[in-house]
Amino acid sequence: MDHAIVLFDGDCNFCDSSVQFIIQHDPAGYYHFASLQSDVGMKLRKEYQIPDDVDSLVLIENGQAYIKTDGALRISHHLTGLWKLAFYLKSVPRFIRDSAYDTFAKNRYKVFGKLNSCMLPPPHIRKRFLDK
């Protein structure tokens, strides 16, 4: 596969901002996107056996699904700039990383709110969204 897929919560302001951040720091277009709630997202969830309680971010890369901090840190590895260095946080034990991730994810709607509308990216970016 010449690209990876990021599944994200299409209702979450923070997730939407995260997708925009990834786009800005991925000029090669390695990452493609689909919301978890879309038909494409639901199909991929089933295909990769992603549990229903995973509702924030999933990375599908090289035939493998990565959730929580494993997904987020793997995403950082392909971004431009110093963001690549975040990948090395993998040395922190997963239970510590994922505990912090779960706490943040549980409160993301309270802090950042829900989307009322979706962004409409320009055509050259829109082709990276699988659930057009």
Enumerate the domain spans of the chain. 4-126
Could you tell me the fold of the domain covering 4-126?
Glutaredoxin (3.40.30)
Handedness of CA 89, 93, 97, 100 (dihedral sign): negative
> Is residue 48 classed exposed, middle or buried when 0-12, 13-18 and 19+ CB atoms within 10 A define those classes?
middle
**Cα separation of 25 and 114, whole Å?**
24
Cα separation, 96 vs 89, in Å, equals: 11
Looking at residue 50, what is its pLDDT?
94
Q: What is the pLDDT of residue 28?
A: 92
Q: At what angle do helices 13-24 and 94-112 cross, to 10 degrees?
A: 110
Residue 24: per-residue pLDDT: 93
61 beta partners: 64
pLDDT per position in the chain (132 positions), as tens? 589 999 998 776 777 888 999 999 999 999 999 999 899 999 999 999 998 888 888 999 999 999 988 999 999 999 998 888 887 788 889 899 988 878 887 877 777 666 665 566 667 788 888 875
